[in-house]
Structure formats: C-alpha cells, structure tokens
Amino acid sequence: MSSKTKINKPNWLSLINIDSVYSFDRQRQAFSLFTMITIALVLITYLVIINHRIYEPILTASLVSVNLTIVGCIVYFIKTKQLNAIALITLMIVFVMCLALVSTGGKENTALYWLMFYPVAVFAILGVKLGAWLSSAMLLSCIVMLYGPDMGQVMYGEVEKTRFVAAFSLVLVFSFIGEYFRHRSHLAIADITLEQKQHAYTDQLTGAPNRRFITSHFLKLAASRPAHYLPLSILLIDLDNFKQLNDTYGHDFGDTVLIEFTKLLESQFSATALKARYGGEEFVVILPQMTTIEASILANRFRECVQHHVILTDKQQRVSLTCSIGIAQANHIDDYDSALKQADEYLYQAKSQGRNKVIFAHGEYVSQ
C-alpha cells in the first residue's frame, strides 16, 4: 500500500503573500522620511528668508538648491513610488548639510547639537545596514573635522568635542540596537503570519490548497493580473464511488486514496495549474489562459490516467479508481462563481450518466 504521507509543498504556496505586513512597515518608513523632509523644507526656507541678507550668495544658492532637490525627490516618488531611492538621496543631502553645518559652526557654535537626530532618522528610514553605514560615516567625518588638521573649519572646545562624540556614539549605538531588534521582530512576525496563512489555506490531509485559498486569495490575485490568468478553465473533479471505497476498505484507505489522487493531479497537470481539494472527494483544477476545448483534452488525459491507476490495500488487494469531470470557462473573474456552478452541473451529468466521463459545453469524453 502507498505510504500515507503528504505530498511535497507545491509552488502554489509561493502565491501566498503577506503584503499587508510589509505595507505597514513601508508606511512607517515613508512617514518617518516625509516628516524629516517637511521639517527640512520648513527650516531651510525659514533660514533663507530670515538670513538671505547675511548669508553669502553661494550659501543662499546652495540652500535653495537643496530645497529644490528635495522637492524633486518628492515629485519622483509620486511618479515612481521608489521610496528607498529618494530616502537615500535625501539623507545623503542631509548628511552633506550636517557636515557643512559642523564646519561653519552654525549660530553661536551650536551646530553639533543639531546632529543628534541623524542616527535616529537614518535608522528609522533606511534600516539597519544603511543606517549603520551612514551614521558611522557621519561620526567618523565629524571626528576628522573636530580633531583633524585646520582646514578653515570652526574650532570647538575640547570638552564640547568630547561630549559630542560620546553623546553621538550613544545615540548611534542605541538607535542601532532598537532598529536591529525591531527588524528582527518584524521578520519573525512576518514568518509567523505567512505560516498561519499557509496553514489556513492548506488542506491538512493532502497538502493541496483548499477552497478558502481560491476564494480568499487566488481570485483576488487573478483579478489584479487578468492578462496572466484569463480565460480560466475550471475542472470540477469527483472520485467515483468513494463512499463505497471507504465502507469497504476503511477510512484510512480512503485517506490514502485522496492523497494518491492529489499526487496524480500534481503530476498530470502543469505547475501553472491550480489543483485544490474542494471538499470531501471533490477537487477543482483551475487552468489559466485556457479554453474549455483545450482543457477538455487535458481533463480526458487525466481521466484515463486515473482509470489505469491501481492502489494496493493493506492486504495487497488491487483497487482501481475512476473519476468524473465537469468543465466550464470563466472569461472574467466575476464569472467564476457562475462558471463553477456550470462545471458542477456538467459533473452531475457525468455522474448520472454512468461516471468516468468528462462533460463540457461542447461535448464529452467517456470511458473506453
């Protein structure tokens, strides 16, 4: 007798996503970025308006250019939704501005205080890896400017420099720790969510997708990418005389039959076809971008495969199987329910006309 084990996880599981989990993290990233951008635009605009008569023309022009670049990044994001690209560009601009601020000293040599926000912002927006690189680069650049040779930069007191390096290092370390473990927690939650979703969409006996997967996930996916899926051919398949098999050989053997039948579905239909257990001994196969005429050829080939397949019982008795199939076509996702109902009617006809048949709108295949 065949071993009663689940089939290997097929590629349908790759269709399951947890976009909602990552969507919230992306929203957090975007909110952090645009909060910083808003503050930067307001602050730079304020400084230019208040101090344009004091600043050197080149400094005023530089600040205006920065504002225009940031606005350009926003426009680019609106058009492309490339959040990571504009986040990196914006934070590099802020990086250069911070170094320029340290070099000039700012108002009353308070420039160093303004840099404390940078590790917090860069880790929140760019994540652990890029956050660590940019924050470390900022710290090293500041150390070179504070303790390196005189290149025309403003001079700070020894105590002020030491306190800044110590404080900035602490902010960097704790920002890294916070973001690192937040990211690890996020990945763990994502893994748990994906596992729970896969479990909910999987038939526990056969390992095949269940009805919930089709109605809650697959149809939404197909609706979002109709060119990749439509038209759909729907095969509703029922094992013939399954109750009799259960009554004769026991429920364990019935489970084995269902598992073996699922393996046949996996082996006889392509990887692009969705093979699901719809309930009891009823299965559904959805064939993307295929008409009923094309699908009927595959269905009949499968029917013939099933009728020639033999399963051995515990007592080495040879048991043959047959199945009946109804086929319908959905040209739009909204037509799925009506097409499934039509396939069910054709399946009923196949069962009532003697079983081991494939029936569809344009004809039928019968046992030979």
Task: Using the predicted structure, report yes or no on whether residue 56 has a pLDDT greater than 80.
Answer: no
pLDDT above 70 for 278: yes
Which residues are 357's β-sheet partners?
366
Is 81 buried (19+), middle (13-18) or exposed (0-12) by CB count in 10 A? exposed
Residue 348 confidence (pLDDT) above 60: yes
81: left (phi over 0), alpha (psi -120 to 50) or beta: left
Closest CA to 351 of 235, 237, 264: 237
- Give Cβ neighbours of residue 176 (< 8 Å, ≥ 6 apart): 119, 123, 128, 131, 132, 135
Contact of 1 with 252, CB cutoff 8 Å = no
Highest mean pLDDT among 66-80, 85-99, 102-116, 157-171: 157-171
pTM of the model: 0.68
Checking if the pLDDT of 249 tops 60, the result is yes
Is the pLDDT at 294 greater than 60? The verdict is: yes
pLDDT at 368 exceeding the cut of 60? no
Q: Please choose, from the candidates 234, 256, 365, the residue with its C-alpha nearest in 3D space to the C-alpha of residue 309.
A: 256
Please tell me the distance from the alpha carbon of residue 64 to that of residue 319, in angstroms, as a whole number.
82
Instruction: Specify whether the CB–CB gap between 259 and 4 falls below 8 A.
Output: yes
Check residue 207 and give left, alpha or beta (phi > 0: left; psi -120 to 50: alpha): left
Q: Are 305 and 365 in contact (CB under 8 A)?
A: no
With a cut of 80, say whether residue 140 has pLDDT above it.
Answer: yes
Our measurement of the distance from residue 297's CA atom to the centroid of its chain's CA atoms, rounded to an integer in Å, reads: 35
Spatial CA neighbour of 128 closest among 186, 187, 179: 179
Q: Structure tokens of 197?
A: 């979703």
Distance CA 99, CA 95 (A): 6
Q: Using CA atoms, how far apart are residues 282 and 265, in angstroms rounded to an integer?
A: 12
Query: 313 falls in which pLDDT band (50, 70, 90)?
Result: confident
Q: What is the mean pLDDT of residues 226-255?
A: 93
Enumerate residues 6+ apart whose C-beta is below 8 A from 332.
226, 230
SS3 category, 319: strand
Most confident residue range from 74-88, 95-109, 204-218? 204-218
pLDDT at 241 over 50: yes
Range in 20-34, 85-99, 191-205, 274-288 the model is least confident about? 20-34
Task: Please state the domain extents for the chain.
Answer: 19-194, 207-366
pLDDT in tens, 14-40: 777 666 667 788 888 888 889 988 988
Name the band, by pLDDT with cuts 50, 70 and 90, for residue 142.
very high
Structure tokens at 66: 């920065």
Which CATH fold topology does 207-366 show?
A: Alpha-Beta Plaits (3.30.70)
SS3 237: strand
Unique residue bearing structure tokens 């007798």: 1
Inform me whether the pLDDT recorded for 303 exceeds 50. yes
- Return the amino acid letter for 245: L
